[in-house]
């Protein structure tokens, strides 16, 4: 599996996103309360700000009782399960899912209509994409699977735990056994948040010192559907801001505290999924013990707007 993306693709991506931290109760709190009309209407008006629809921010862990698991396709192994964690309809666009494989099981060669933008949440996974060397994926590793690229997936038995994969889809959720009529010329690739080859860049001026962003996937070429890693130093806070895009996130390191307008603050730890609606103002803080690194799958061009400081988004 290739471990690189075309550098030319990075130039079309605008910057920058955001998240937060805390040292107290990782993996416990879930934001489930929708913003009230009063809270939403209190948000400062900014040029280009998406309407705040009342859709709440929330978090999920793989053992969360609110995650509703269902069976996979018939041709997949026994015990395989899928849970839709974000998205009204699995036949719709921009759905987020958890995919679970029992230890020792294998999904035979298949492909998807959509790209797969993934983070492994538990277990050890071996993936064999056509035309590439097999790759072993550990928890917290990001992986990109191009649309219609055939692959076989195996959950390693010796590790003793199920493999659970977070997948951010762009197109409707599907899985088709076998091979497509034509295979793409893109390659699959992986990143870890501590990879020495990551190219980190500074965040906008309104964010704290030491804040950095690394774009790890920008293959659409138009600024849409980019993936990024966002890093905050321990004990630092990003002031209230919003994004044009929804944020579909997994925390890779550190402990976050996020205060979304109109909702109780939420604190969560590594390998927790979080969803941030477009246009919803929030403040974010990283806990004191270690840097916070957040994976974010964007839908719209990457930006961040300081609620305190003017109408223009901060973009590259």
Do domains 7-62+193-306 and 70-191 share one topology? The answer is yes
Per residue of the chain (316 residues), what is the pLDDT tens digit? 433 333 333 333 333 333 323 333 333 323 332 223 333 333 445 555 666 667 899 999 999 999 999 999 999 999 999 999 999 677 799 999 999 999 999 999 999 999 999 999 999 999 999 999 999 999 999 999 999 999 999 999 976 899 999 999 999 999 999 999 998 999 999 999 999 999 999 999 999 999 999 999 998 878 899 999 999 999 999 999 999 999 999 999 999 999 999 999 999 999 999 999 999 999 999 999 999 999 999 999 999 999 986 544 555 4
Two tokens, residue 71 = 């069976």
Superfamily of domain covering 7-62+193-306: Jelly Rolls (2.60.120.10)
The reported pLDDT for the residue numbered 50 is 64
- Residue 16: asked if its preceding bond is cis (omega within 30°), the reply is yes
The reported pLDDT for the residue numbered 51 is 63
Terminal C-alpha separation, the chain: 29
Beta bridge partners of 210: none
| Domain range list for the chain | 7-62+193-306, 70-191
* Three-state SS annotation for 26-47: CCCCCCCCCCCHHHHHCCCCCC
C-alpha to C-alpha distance for 84 and 248, rounded to whole angstroms: 13
The reported pLDDT for the residue numbered 222 is 84
C-alpha to C-alpha distance for 151 and 173, rounded to whole angstroms: 16
The reported pLDDT for the residue numbered 267 is 96
C-alpha to C-alpha distance for 298 and 224, rounded to whole angstroms: 7
Q: Please enumerate in sequence order all residues whose Cβ is within 8 A of that of 279, keeping only pairs 6 or more positions apart, or say none.
A: 43, 49, 50, 51, 52, 53, 242, 243, 244
Between CA 233 and CA 223, with CA 305 as vertex, the angle to 5 degrees is 90
Q: Please enumerate in sequence order all residues whose Cβ is within 8 A of that of 11, keeping only pairs 6 or more positions apart, or say none.
A: none
CATH domain 70-191 topology: Jelly Rolls (2.60.120)
Sign of the C-alpha dihedral computed for residues 86, 211, 233 and 217 taken in this order: positive
């Amino acid at each position: 599996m290739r471990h690189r993306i075309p550098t030319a693709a990075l130039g079309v991506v605008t910057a920058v996103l955001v998240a937060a931290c805390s040292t107290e109760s990782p993996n416990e709190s879930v934001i489930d309360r929708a913003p009230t009309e009063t809270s939403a209407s209190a948000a400062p008006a900014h040029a280009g700000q998406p309407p705040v629809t009342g859709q709440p921010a929330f978090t999920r862990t793989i053992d969360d009782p609110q995650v509703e698991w269902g069976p996979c396709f018939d041709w997949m192994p026994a015990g395989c399960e899928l849970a839709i964690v974000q998205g009204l309809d699995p036949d719709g666009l921009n759905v987020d899912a958890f995919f679970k494989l029992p230890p020792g099981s294998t999904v035979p060669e298949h492909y998807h209509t959509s790209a797969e933008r993934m983070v492994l949440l538990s277990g050890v996974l071996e993936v064999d994409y056509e035309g590439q060397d097999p790759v072993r994926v550990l928890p917290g590793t990001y992986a990109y699977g191009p649309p219609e690229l055939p692959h076989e997936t195996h959950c390693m038995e010796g590790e003793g735990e199920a493999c659970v994969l977070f997948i951010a889809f762009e197109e409707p959720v599907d899985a088709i056994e076998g091979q497509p009529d034509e295979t793409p010329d893109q390659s699959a690739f992986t990143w870890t948040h501590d990879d020495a080859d990551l190219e980190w860049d500074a965040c906008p001026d309104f964010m704290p010192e030491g804040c950095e962003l690394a774009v790890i996937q920008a293959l659409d070429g138009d600024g849409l559907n980019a993936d990024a890693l966002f890093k905050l130093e321990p004990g630092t806070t990003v002031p209230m801001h919003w994004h044009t895009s929804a944020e579909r996130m997994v925390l890779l390191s550190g402990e976050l505290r996020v205060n979304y307008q109109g909702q109780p603050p939420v604190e969560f730890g590594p390998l927790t999924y979080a969803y941030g609606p477009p246009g919803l103002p929030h403040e974010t803080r990283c806990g004191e013990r270690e840097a916070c690194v957040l994976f974010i799958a964007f839908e719209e061009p990457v930006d961040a707007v300081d609620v305190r400081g003017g109408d223009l988004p901060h973009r590259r």
